[in-house]
Amino acid sequence: MGPEASVVVVSYNTRELLAECLQAVRTESTATTVELWVVDNASTDGSAELVEEKFPEVRLIRNARNVGFAAANNQALARAEGELLFLLNSDAVLLPGSLRALQRAFRERPELGLGGPSLWNPDGSRQPSWGDFPRPRFELLFQSLLYKVWPCRFPYGRRVHPLLRRAYTRFRWVDWVTGAALMMRRAVYETLGGLPEDGFMYGEDLEYCARAGAAGFRVGYVPEARACHRLAGSRSDYARWVESYTRATLEFYRRHGTGAEQARVSRLVRYGSVLRLGLWSVVGGARPARRREAAMRCEGYRRAMALARSYDQRRREGANSV
pLDDT in tens, 248-272: 899 999 999 999 999 999 999 999 9
Do residues 125 and 45 lie in contact, with contact meaning Cβ atoms separated by under 8 Å?
Answer: no
Q: Is 30 strand, coil or helix? A: helix
Residue 235's pLDDT is what?
A: 55
Do residues 70 and 87 lie in contact, with contact meaning Cβ atoms separated by under 8 Å?
Answer: no
How far is residue 263's CA from residue 308's CA, in Å, rounded to a whole number?
Answer: 9
Residue 322's pLDDT is what?
A: 42
Q: What is the pTM of this model?
A: 0.91
Do residues 73 and 37 lie in contact, with contact meaning Cβ atoms separated by under 8 Å?
Answer: no
Do residues 98 and 223 lie in contact, with contact meaning Cβ atoms separated by under 8 Å?
Answer: no
> For residue 107, which of 211, 222, 190 has the smallest C-alpha distance?
222
Question: What does each of the 322 residues of the chain score in pLDDT, given as a tens digit?
Answer: 678 999 999 999 999 999 999 999 999 886 568 999 999 999 999 999 999 999 999 999 999 999 988 999 999 999 999 999 999 999 999 999 999 999 999 999 999 999 999 999 999 999 999 999 999 999 999 999 999 899 888 887 889 999 999 999 999 999 999 999 999 999 999 999 999 987 656 788 999 999 999 999 999 999 999 999 997 554 567 898 899 889 989 999 999 999 999 999 999 999 999 999 999 999 998 999 999 999 999 999 999 999 999 999 998 887 665 4
Quote the CATH superfamily of domain 5-233. Answer: Spore Coat Polysaccharide Biosynthesis Protein SpsA; Chain A (3.90.550.10)
> For residue 222, which of 81, 113, 298, 319 has the smallest C-alpha distance?
113
60-72: string of b/e by CB count within 10 Å (b at 16+)? bbbbeebbbbbbb
> For residue 85, which of 4, 183, 213 has the smallest C-alpha distance?
183
Q: Residue 86: how many CB atoms within 10 A of its CB?
A: 26
Q: Where are the domains of the chain?
A: 5-233, 238-321
